[in-house]
């Protein structure tokens, strides 16, 4: 349970103008990706209607119409992608020096978008 000392970390608290405690990162503080493949994943995720980038824990979260469809993180020498495919949520970890093909990554992101985004955004795809 979050106590009052954590109130500044809540998104709703930020909207109400509660001052962020020191050390809390906001979207303006997010570091650039270390790996080119991460930037390519981000660029593809942002091509969807109403796409927006945010954070979830230490990962980037990409959503459309308020529904997250891909999470992307970098840890040590790994890229970590979480998305929903036909057979459920998948966690894909890979070495950024030897990633899946960009075509395969785009296909997975497309599938996740189609499964999770509001139907009004997927009708024309």
- The whole domain housing 109 covers 32-122
- Residues 42, 26 share a domain: no
Q: Token pair of 84, please?
A: 């929903």
- Residues 1, 55 share a domain: no
**pLDDT higher than threshold 80 for residue 76:** yes
- Residues 39, 26 share a domain: no
Share the mean pLDDT of the chain: 83
- Number of domains, the chain: 2
- Residues 95, 107 share a domain: yes
Q: Please measure the distance between the N-terminal and C-terminal CA atoms of the chain and give it in whole angstroms.
A: 41
* Percent above pLDDT 70 for the chain: 76
List pLDDT tens digits, range 109-122: 999 999 999 999 99
- Residues 118, 104 share a domain: yes
- Residues 59, 25 share a domain: no
């Amino acid at each position: 349970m979050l106590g009052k000392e954590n109130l500044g970390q809540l998104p709703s608290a930020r909207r109400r103008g509660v001052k962020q405690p020191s050390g809390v990162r906001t979207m303006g503080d997010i570091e650039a990706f270390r790996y080119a493949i991460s930037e390519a994943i981000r660029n593809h995720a942002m091509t969807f209607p109403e796409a927006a980038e945010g954070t979830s824990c230490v990962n980037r979260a990409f959503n459309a119409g308020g529904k997250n469809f891909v999470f992307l993180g970098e840890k040590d020498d790994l890229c970590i992608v979480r998305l929903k495919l036909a057979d459920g949520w998948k966690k894909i970890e890979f070495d950024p020096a030897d990633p899946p093909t960009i075509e395969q990554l785009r296909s997975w992101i497309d599938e996740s978008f189609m499964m999770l985004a509001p139907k009004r955004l997927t009708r024309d795809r």
